[in-house]
């Protein structure tokens, strides 16, 4: 298969406009902040100027009010669900030289590893046996001799692997930008969300931290979602790597990207990821970010994204430690990874002492520990994959999400998928905490949804699996 690489320019990332918006927001009055927060509670999102104003606010009382608005939006749209997934690294070969990443081509400290189909199946089996239903397939940007088919074959391997009654029901992918033809093949492989992080939307910083390889082409990367959408992939996940450049600039640039996708394709991104730079072996920049994001600013970013783009999921990975993760759930996070490894083969060979991981993880707990923790905090751990399998993606998903309907499908589906986890994989103490949570959720649901929830949960108890609406 040939891959056509045509030049597309990301003209919608307008640095001068972002600078002007930030400059005009330097002073912010309490009254103005409260007016914006009142608007945010209507769940129609915020424009760039409003976002910039909220970024400048550091008054503790007003910050609390912003967090309360974020909690409101999160609760109205998503309820208390948290969707769980695990990354699956298939290869750490890479032809690029991203100064922050351990997989960069010239890094001699990294042990290179490309999993073969048996090893991919083995990793998948381990994840299934932990109770996972969703994986995010991740790879460096250099494929073995079969080229991009390596990734497509890996997806097929994951979907065809079984263990006991379990299987992976949704494979998302985080791989380098592709041509329209290759996106069509990725779609045909039945991926869920296509994820690609711009790292930084600031051209000069981008050039400074990507010093060799195809990834140096800023425009090819920013325009990847245009090509993915053209190929029919309508669930896309955006993100920046916080720590490379000013977070205020990056958040407004993401907003420009979102507006562009909405204007051009009628649908914004399905998810936003918020990775912060973590230490990475052999990569000095990862140990000393030039623009570190403090924990307080990190919270602000999440709350701001939640109210500015209410219908887009926010993903929190295990780069962050357990305490930081916990603090962000209520502010708007809707998906979390758990029990993760960032080295190919890391599930089968944990702690083998080899340097193969992409970056250091902050949360080392197992899936079961995370499920117990999340449930004891009152959130429903969800393994649901229904929307994607029923074709509720892209604009269809957004149409359903916008009137808050998502809560009515997702709440019962979350409970049935959680019950499936508790019965098939949970430790006894986790099962106890989880069953209490499900009982409480069923008790307090609106009557129309309660009926569906009770039916699905009792079907799972009666030994049926994969029950959803």
Binding site for ligand SF4 (CB under 6 A): 94, 96, 98, 101, 103-104, 140-141, 215
Q: Which listed option, ligand SF4, ligand SAM, none, makes contact with residue 233 (CB within 5 to 8 Å by class)?
A: none
Q: Give least dist CB 240 to ligand SAM, A.
A: 8
Nearest to 373 by CA among 414, 424, 429: 429
Asked whether 442 and 431 are in contact (CB, 8 A), the reply is: no
Q: With left for phi above 0 and alpha for psi between -120 and 50, is residue 70 left, alpha or beta?
A: alpha
CB of 302 to ligand SAM, least distance (A): 16
Report d(CA 8, CA 5) in Å as an integer: 9
Extract the tokens encoding 377: 């905090």
Give the CA dihedral 168, 170, 171, 177, nearest 10 degrees.
Answer: 180
Q: Which residue has the tokens 């962050």?
A: 320
Q: Which stretch binds ligand SAM (CB under 6 A): 111-119, 152-160, 228-236, 278-286?
A: 278-286
107/413 with CB nearer ligand SAM? 107
**What is the closest distance, in whole angstroms, from the C-beta atom of residue 138 to ligand SF4 in the complex?**
8
Residue 434 lies near ligand SAM (rule: CB under 6 A)? no
Q: Which does 196 bind (CB under 5 to 8 A by kind): ligand SF4, ligand SAM, none?
A: ligand SAM
Task: Tell me the three state secondary structure of residue 347.
Answer: coil
By the rule CB under 6 A, 176 interacts with ligand SAM: yes
Choose from ligand SF4, ligand SAM, none: what does 104 bind? Cβ within 5-8 Å by kind: ligand SF4
277 sits near ligand SAM (criterion: CB under 6 A): yes
Partner from ligand SAM, ligand SF4, none binding residue 138, C-beta < 5-8 Å depending on class: ligand SAM
The number of CA neighbours under 13 Å toward the Cβ of 458 is: 7
Structure tokens at 140: 């460096």
384 part of the interface to ligand SAM, by CB under 6 A: no
Q: Is 316 in the site for ligand SAM (CB under 6 A)?
A: no
CB of 175 to ligand SF4, least distance (A): 9
How far separated are the first and last CA of the chain, in Å rounded?
38
Beta carbon of residue 337, minimum distance to ligand SAM (angstroms, whole number)? 12
How far is the C-alpha of 465 from the C-alpha of 442, rounded, in Å? Answer: 19
Taking the complex as a whole, the smallest distance from the CB of residue 387 to ligand SF4 amounts, in Å, to 28
Rounded CA-CA distance 229/61 in Å is 42
Judge whether 167 and 128 are in contact, CB under 8 Å: yes
- Residue of the chain from 128, 138, 301, 406 that contacts ligand SAM (CB under 6 A): 138
- Please, which residue, 280 or 438, has the CB nearer to ligand SAM? 280
210 touches ligand SAM (CB under 6 A): no
Question: Could you tell me which stretch among 23-31, 48-56, 173-181, 254-262 binds ligand SAM (CB under 6 A)?
Answer: 173-181
C-beta of 92 vs 124, nearer to ligand SF4: 92
Q: Do residues 95 and 141 make contact, with C-beta atoms less than 8 angstroms apart?
A: yes
Instruction: Based on the shown chain and the rule CB under 6 A, indicate whether residue 197 belongs to the binding site for ligand SAM.
Output: yes
Angle at 336 between CA 332 and CA 339, to 5 degrees: 155
How far apart CA 429 and CA 427 sit, in angstroms, is 6
Q: Which residues bind ligand SAM (CB under 6 A)?
A: 100-101, 103, 138, 140-141, 174-176, 196-197, 199, 241, 275, 277-278, 280, 286, 319, 358-359
């Amino acid at each position: 298969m040939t891959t056509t690489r045509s030049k597309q320019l990301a003209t919608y990332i307008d640095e001068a406009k972002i600078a002007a918006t930030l400059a005009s927001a330097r002073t912010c009055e309490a009254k103005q902040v409260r007016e914006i927060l009142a608007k945010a509670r209507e769940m129609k999102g915020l424009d760039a100027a409003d976002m910039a104003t909220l970024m400048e606010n550091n008054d503790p009382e007003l910050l609390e009010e912003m967090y309360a608005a974020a909690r409101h939006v999160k609760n109205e749209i998503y309820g208390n669900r948290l969707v769980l997934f695990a990354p699956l690294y298939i290869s750490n070969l890479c032809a690029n030289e991203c100064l922050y990443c351990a997989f960069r081509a010239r890094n001699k400290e990294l042990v290179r590893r490309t999993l073969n189909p048996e090893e991919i199946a083995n990793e998948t089996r381990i994840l299934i046996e932990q109770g996972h239903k969703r994986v995010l397939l991740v790879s460096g940007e250099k494929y073995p001799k079969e080229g991009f088919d390596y990734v497509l074959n890996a997806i097929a391997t994951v979907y065809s692997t079984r263990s006991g009654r379990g299987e992976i029901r949704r494979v998302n992918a985080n791989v380098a930008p592709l041509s329209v033809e290759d996106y069509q093949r990725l779609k045909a492989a039945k991926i869920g969300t296509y994820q690609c992080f711009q790292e930084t939307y600031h051209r000069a910083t981008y050039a400074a931290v990507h010093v060799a390889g195809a990834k140096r082409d800023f425009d090819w990367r920013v325009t990847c979602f245009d090509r993915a959408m053209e190929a029919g992939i309508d669930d896309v996940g955006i993100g920046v790597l916080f720590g490379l450049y000013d977070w205020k600039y990056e958040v407004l640039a993401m907003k420009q990207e979102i507006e562009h996708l909405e204007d051009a394709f009628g649908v914004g991104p399905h998810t936003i990821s918020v990775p912060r730079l973590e230490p990475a072996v052999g990569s000095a920049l990862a140990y000393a970010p030039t623009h570190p994001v403090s924990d307080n600013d990190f919270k602000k970013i999440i709350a701001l994204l939640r109210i500015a783009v209410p219908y887009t999921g926010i993903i929190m990975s295990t780069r962050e430690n357990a305490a930081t993760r916990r603090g962000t759930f209520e502010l708007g996070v809707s998906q979390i990874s758990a029990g993760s490894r960032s080295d190919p083969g890391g599930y089968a060979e944990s702690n083998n002492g080899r340097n193969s991981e992409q970056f250091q993880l902050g949360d080392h707990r197992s899936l079961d520990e995370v499920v117990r923790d999340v449930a004891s905090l009152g959130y429903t751990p969800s393994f649901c994959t229904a929307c994607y399998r029923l074709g509720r993606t892209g604009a269809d998903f957004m149409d359903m999400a916008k009137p808050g309907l998502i809560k009515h499908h997702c709440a019962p589906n979350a409970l049935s998928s959680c019950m499936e986890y508790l019965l098939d994989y949970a430790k006894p103490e986790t099962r106890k905490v989880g069953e209490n949570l499900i009982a409480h959720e069923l008790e307090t649901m609106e009557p129309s949804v309660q009926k569906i929830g009770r039916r699905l949960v009792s079907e799972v108890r009666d030994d049926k699996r994969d029950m959803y609406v």
